[in-house]
Amino acid sequence: MTFQPLPMVTDDNAPFWEGGEVGELRINRCRECRTWFHPPAPVCPECLSMNVGPEVASGRAKVAAYTINVQAWSPELEAPYVLAYVELDDQPDVRLTTRLIDCAPADVRVGMPVEVTFQAAEDIWLPLFRPVKGY
Amino acid sequence: MSIPARTPVLGERNAVISGIGQSAVGRKLGRTGISLTVEAALAAIADAGLTRDDIDGVASYPGAMDSSPGMAPTGVPELKDALRLKVNWFSGGGEVPAQLGAVFNAVAAVSCGLANHVLVFRTVNESTAQTAGRRASVVGSGGSRIGGAMQYLVPFHAVSAANWVGMYAQRYMHQYGLQREHLGQIALNARRHAALNPRAIFRDPLTMDDYMNARMVSWPLGLYDCDIPCDGSVALIVSRADAAPDLKQVVRIESIGSALHGRDSWDQREDLTTMASHDAAKMMWSRTDLKPTDVDSAHLYDGFSYLCMQWLEALGFFPKGEAAGFLEGGESRIGLGGELPLNTNGGQLSAGRLHGYGYLHEACVQLRGEGGDRQVQGAEVSVVGAGGGPLGGCILLTKDR
Ligand SMILES: [Zn+2]
């Protein structure tokens, strides 16, 4: 068992937590009005259609806000590390909380383009993000 | 979504706060939750001039739970049974508009006649409960798999509210030019007031240098932006205004703000420079003819300094985005003799994390004129706001006239 709790996988959230196995960021989307939404739910928040399901998002996003965590909370991860709310390029009002890797704390900026990369943890894959190369 | 239309008689005007009580408050008191709770409850019942047999309702937040050590050691059933209360109504739980949700429930219950005198309490013993490997206020430190909204934060090592709030604070600083020194004014103000409160925990002077040089927790939040876990309990009696004509002193409830119109989520809220506090405050002001300029003292959640600033903004004490200009006024703005005396007991930053209920207790103290060295002269209107992120609720209180 890891110190850091992992998500309890359910039918609703499995596509999100397991998509990383094949490199896919799976986000729920309405098949009628094409709205993306997160976290997963059985109904579209825009048109209330229940014809919804996971689709593969681009994996591109931009940093909406960040924090540099300095305090060591867990023996598993050395501080400092960068946490961020990122907004998906597919639809910016869909955000994920994530950790940025390959990014020095001093380099992170609001609006910075980032892309998904997955880290396996037991039976799930965490969608982490890293700066887009060349930015 | 619109806020509800005003009914001819607002239900909250049918309820009063008839008594208040507080247990010992401190670090590592070595006391159980129920021991602290009973101490506060008996004090509140006596303060109201009531007896145990008059209490016919109980409410608490967030119900007993074990996910974060000492955060919620005592629930409604345990207190009801300890005091053998015979109740007509009771409610305990966390799916409410933040900490004050239990008070709103009690107000609703007495207003519609389900109970006459509701004992409301909030108890913590985080300081005593902290042991190796089980840190207070770190979500999931119990070790098992997690569900709900927390599953989208915690596995990324965004484990502390300092992380979630830190991101909001960073975004506001980026967008509106807020600096750490401005948030420091909230911490310094709390410490100045704590020096005047014998029951506060940290009472030594705090300077801006101390604040700026303290260790960082989660940028931009440093050590003195974070409140302190403590042990303690606060209880109050919410009574039907007409239920006991001989109540010796009451605090009136002018209006309540319980709205949440944004996403019920830390990371999905549409505007990251606002919080649930903005929704709640809008509703509260819609239910009164009083205005922000009528407020004599403000008691606003400072679990993190940034949350307190968000409450000040949400309640309209300065226009959106203008926190820096307001806070750089320091003591002349938010000190005891300033325009808007803020957190006169030292807040949670210096008086301890009583999780919303320390503010409520202090607002009643001020309106009853019992503040001693820290009394705001002529205090007649006080506002209390609690919560952060998707959690927020506020209440406007007035002196009995
Ligand atoms: Zn739709």
Q: Which residues of B touch A72 (CB under 8 A)?
A: none
Digit-coded pLDDT (tens) for B196-217: 999 999 999 999 999 999 999 9
Domain total of chain B: 1
CA proximity to B185, closest of B40, B360, B332: B332
Residue B142 lies in a domain: no
Domain range for B300 is 12-131+159-399
pTM of the model: 0.96
DSSP type of residue B152: G
Confidence (pLDDT) at B144:
80
Residues contacting B320, CB < 8 A, separation 6+: B273, B274, B313
Q: b/e per residue, B154-169, with b = 16+ CB within 10 A?
A: bbbbbbbbbbbbbbbb
- Closest Cα in chain B to A93: B270
Q: With the CA atoms of B374, B380, B381 and B386 taken in that order, what torsion angle do they form, in degrees rounded to the nearest 10?
A: 40
Interface residue A99 vs chain B (CB under 8 A)? yes
B222-280, pLDDT tens digit by residue? 999 999 999 999 999 999 998 865 676 899 999 999 999 999 999 999 999 999 999 99
Structural domain includes residue B144: no
Given a cut of 50, is residue A74 above it in pLDDT? yes
For residue B171, the chain A residue with the least C-alpha distance is A65
Best to test chain A binding among B151, B153, B275 (most A CBs inside 10 Å) = B151
Report the alpha-carbon distance of residue B341 to residue B10 in Å, rounded. 28
Both tokens of B265, joined, read 């989520």
- The rounded Cα A132 to chain-centroid distance in angstroms is 15
Lowest pLDDT segment from A69-73, B2-6, B182-186, B321-325: B2-6
pLDDT band at B132 (very low <50, low <70, confident <90, very high): very low
Task: Locate the domains of chain A by residue range.
Answer: 14-131
A83 contacts B170? CB cut-off 8 A: no
CA pair distance B305, B307, nearest whole angstrom: 5
Q: Is there a contact between A8 and B143 if contact means CB atoms under 8 Å apart?
A: no
Query: From the candidates A6, A37, A69, which should be mutated to test the interface with B, based on the most B CB atoms within 10 A?
Result: A69
Tell me the shortest Cα–Cα distance from A69 to chain B, in angstroms. Answer: 4
The 3-state DSSP class for residue A61 equals: strand
Which CATH number fits the domain that encloses residue B177?
Answer: 3.40.47.10
pLDDT tens digits, B19-66:
999 999 999 999 999 999 999 999 999 999 999 999 999 999 999 998
| Residue among B50, B10, B61 nearest B250 (CA) | B50
B139 lies in some domain:
no
Is residue B94 within 8 A of residue B61, CB to CB? The reply is yes
Two structure tokens written together for B365 = 């103290």
Question: Which two tokens mark B364?
Answer: 């009643």
User: Chain B within 8 Å of A65 (Cβ-Cβ)?
Assistant: yes
The contacts of residue B180 (CB under 8 Å, 6+ apart) are B212, B220, B222
Write B313-320 long-range contacts (CB < 8 A, 24+): B313/B278, B314/B274, B314/B275, B314/B277, B314/B278, B314/B280, B314/B281, B314/B282, B314/B385, B314/B392, B315/B277, B315/B281, B315/B284, B315/B285, B315/B383, B315/B385, B315/B394, B316/B281, B316/B285, B316/B292, B317/B292, B320/B273, B320/B274
pLDDT band per the 50, 70, 90 thresholds, residue B73: very high
Buried b / exposed e over B107-145, threshold 16 CB at 10 Å, is: bbbbbeebbbbbbbbbbbbbbbbbeeeebbbbbbbeeee
Distance CA A74, CA B20 (A): 40
Residue B154 lies in a domain: no
Convert the pLDDT of each residue in B149-179 to its tens digit: 999 999 999 999 999 999 999 999 999 999 9
Inter-residue contact B76 to B65 (CB < 8 Å): no
CB distance A66 to B170 below 8 Å:
yes
A94 Cα to the center of ligand 1, angstroms: 14
Establish if A41 touches chain B: CB-CB under 8 angstroms: no
